[in-house]
């Protein structure tokens, strides 16, 4: 009898979910980024615009100013600083926003900005939105804050049922990350919002990379945000959650008394910093139509990435935490290497990846990549071989690599959300910058030479064709003949999943 009741309940849930559809968007209001005339008198405008005008008077009007945010603490401090300086607008687009001290501190700063009259538009992918759902409900009640969810799950009470009834759409996620203030400054890169991305936890920490930019490229990011915000996949929060279930109340209970305040920097020092680099910067992204599977080939970021990589003459450096090259990708890299180009790849080792099944899609291609002359490095966890206080993109103190970047011939780099895997190429929407700047590209090359060999395992083939992992430490070099820090079962599982035809999902 009990089993029969379970069956009836399951059938009822199935029928309810099947009958539930996405809300109607015909009454949704479109909105767009503010233009320069509306933001030039803001605090940011008064500081940034003179700097831009001074540079552009003697240089190309197409150039933007960029600075790398490799240090995790500085990446959070910069977001907090810009939010505190916002006078007109905040446009925020993220895949994950954790309900932890970092996420809460930023959300409190955003709420304070709205109280000052700043218009806030927060666009979140819905896959992980439950984590901070109580905050989104609270923020969305403010007259100056709008929250929208990209590709929301229906029914709302179960992600599993959402995948079951609409897998093709639900499997397509918005992986973009951007943080734009007053349409004058923007942060784009690989970091989500959470303690594990800002090195504020004693546990798992992702080494990542963002770019802070000002100049013409900011308008491109804002235009792209508008396209997503007004797309057929962006649903106002109130259409998905009944206001009756979210009565107006104070912010969710949280205790930030013991929160360590990030090292603060003044806005003037940030803008006048000598580390700013002026460059031709192109924003590239997928069309939001990709979220519905209706994007044309020319609307995909992969075309722009292929053009950016082009035909390297000397060197190609790839950094991707989830590296699943597929057979076609191996052939493409092999063709480049066969022309005498040095090709190096940094990805996660099995011991540092947070998605083990994705590693199987890479592991089965390792031998072919090595035989083609491609140099492979796998980031190892907390190796302690470098300065343990470093929290940069390839930090030795990190638990896992999360930065997504590449450099071509020491003159061009990419920084963004795109992983070199089929999911980024075919399913998820992505965003990033192509930056033509010799200084930044050379820095990445020097990092590969000076840091990566000592913070990762280098994968090699010996004279007999056996694969091994070389671990370089101050006290000496260690050879591993099996994948380091893995059990027999983990290696078996990786090999088994590598046999399955699931590359398109990885």
From the candidates 91, 125, 133, 182, give the one annotated as an active-site residue.
182
- Residues sharing a CB contact under 8 Å with residue 113, sequence separation 6 or more, in sequence order: 83, 84, 86, 90, 120
Distance between CA atoms of residues 96 and 179, nearest Å:
13
Q: How many CB atoms lie within 10 A of CB 227?
A: 15
Of 196, 210, 402, 421, catalytic: 402
Could you confirm whether 409 is annotated as catalytic?
Answer: yes
Residues contacting residue 293 through CB under 8 Å, at least 6 positions apart: 168, 169, 172
Establish whether 175 is a catalytic residue: yes
Point out which residues pair with 295 in neighbouring strands: none
The tokens describing 143, both together, are 């007259």
Q: Identify the bridge partners of residue 316 per DSSP, sorted by sequence position.
A: 343, 408
Distance CA 320, CA 309 (A): 15
Under DSSP, the state recorded for 35 is: -
Structure tokens at 135: 């905050």
Instruction: Write down the H helix ranges in 64-185.
Output: 72-85, 101-115, 133-140, 159-165, 167-170
Pick from 153, 83, 162, 76: nearest CA to 122? 83
Angle at 377 between CA 372 and CA 380, to 5 degrees: 155
Catalytic one of 126, 196, 409, 421: 409
Q: Which stretches within 230-347 are classed as H helix?
A: 237-240, 267-272, 301-309, 326-338
Residue 218 φ/ψ, nearest 5 degrees: -65, -40
Cis peptide before 420 (omega within 30 of 0): no
| Residue 182 designated active-site | yes
Catalytic residue among 175, 290, 359, 390: 175
One DSSP character per residue, 190-209 reads S--BSGGGTT-SSS--EE--
Beta strands in 231-270 (DSSP E): 234-236
Task: Give, as one character, the DSSP assignment of residue 26.
Answer: T
Ranges of H-type helices in 166-263: 167-170, 216-229, 237-240
Pairwise CA distance, residues 269 & 265, whole Å: 7
Which residue out of 100, 125, 177, 421 is catalytically annotated? 177
> Closest Cα to residue 17, out of 163, 137, 232, 148?
163
Separation of first and last alpha carbons in the chain: 42
Contact by Cβ (8 Å): 432, 286: no
Question: Is 402 annotated as catalytic?
Answer: yes
Q: CA of 6: how far to CAs of 17, 98, 314, in Å?
A: 16, 34, 64
Token duo for residue 266 = 């003044």
- Report the distance separating Cα 449 and Cα 432, nearest Å: 25
**Residue 124's closest CA among 176, 82, 161, 202?**
176
Enumerate the active-site residues.
Answer: 175, 177, 182, 402, 404, 409
């Amino acid at each position: 009898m009990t089993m029969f009741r379970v069956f009836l309940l399951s059938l009822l849930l199935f029928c309810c979910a099947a009958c539930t559809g996405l809300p109607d968007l015909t009454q949704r209001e479109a909105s767009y980024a503010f233009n320069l005339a509306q933001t030039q008198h803001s605090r940011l405008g008064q500081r940034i615009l003179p700097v831009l005008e001074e540079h552009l008077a003697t240089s190309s009007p197409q150039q933007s100013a960029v600075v790398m945010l490799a240090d995790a603490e500085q990446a959070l401090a910069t977001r907090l600083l810009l939010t505190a300086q916002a006078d007109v607008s905040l446009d925020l687009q993220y895949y994950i926003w954790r309900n932890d001290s970092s996420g809460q501190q930023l959300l409190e700063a955003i709420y304070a900005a709205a109280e000052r009259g700043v218009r806030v538009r927060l666009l979140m992918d819905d896959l992980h939105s439950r984590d901070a759902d109580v905050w989104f409900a609270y923020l969305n009640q403010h007259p100056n804050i709008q929250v929208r969810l990209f590709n929301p799950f229906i029914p709302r009470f179960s992600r599993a049922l959402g995948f079951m009834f609409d897998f093709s759409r639900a499997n397509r996620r918005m992986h973009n990350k951007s943080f734009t203030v007053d349409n004058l400054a923007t942060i784009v890169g690989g970091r989500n919002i959470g303690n594990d991305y800002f090195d504020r936890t004693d546990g798992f920490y992702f080494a990542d990379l963002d770019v802070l930019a000002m100049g013409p490229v900011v308008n491109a990011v804002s235009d792209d945000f508008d396209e997503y915000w007004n797309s057929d996949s962006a649903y106002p929060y109130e259409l998905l959650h009944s206001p009756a279930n979210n009565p107006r109340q104070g912010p969710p209970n949280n205790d930030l008394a013991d929160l360590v305040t990030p090292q603060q920097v003044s806005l003037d020092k940030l803008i006048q910093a000598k580390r700013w680099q002026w460059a031709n910067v192109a924003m590239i992204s997928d069309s939001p139509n990709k979220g519905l599977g209706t994007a044309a080939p020319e609307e995909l970021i992969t075309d722009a990435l292929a053009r950016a990589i082009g035909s390297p003459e000397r060197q190609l450096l790839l950094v991707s935490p989830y590296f699943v090259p597929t057979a076609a990708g191996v052939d493409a890299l092999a063709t480049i290497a066969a022309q005498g180009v040095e090709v190096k790849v940094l990805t996660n080792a099995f011991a540092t990846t947070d998605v083990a099944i994705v590693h199987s899609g890479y592991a089965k291609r390792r031998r072919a990549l090595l035989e083609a002359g491609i140099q492979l490095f796998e980031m190892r966890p907390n190796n302690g071989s470098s300065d343990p206080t470093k929290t940069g993109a390839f930090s030795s103190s990190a638990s896992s690599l999360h930065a997504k970047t590449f450099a071509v011939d020491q003159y061009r780099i990419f920084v963004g959300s795109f992983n070199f895997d089929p999911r980024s190429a075919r399913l998820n929407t992505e965003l990033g910058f192509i930056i033509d700047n010799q200084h930044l590209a050379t820095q990445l090359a020097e990092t590969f030479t000076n840091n990566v060999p000592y913070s990762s395992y280098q994968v090699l083939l010996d004279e007999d064709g056996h694969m091994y992992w070389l671990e370089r430490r101050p006290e000496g070099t260690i050879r591993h003949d099996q994948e380091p820090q893995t059990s027999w079962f983990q290696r078996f599982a990786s090999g088994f999943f590598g046999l399955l035809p699931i590359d398109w999902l990885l």
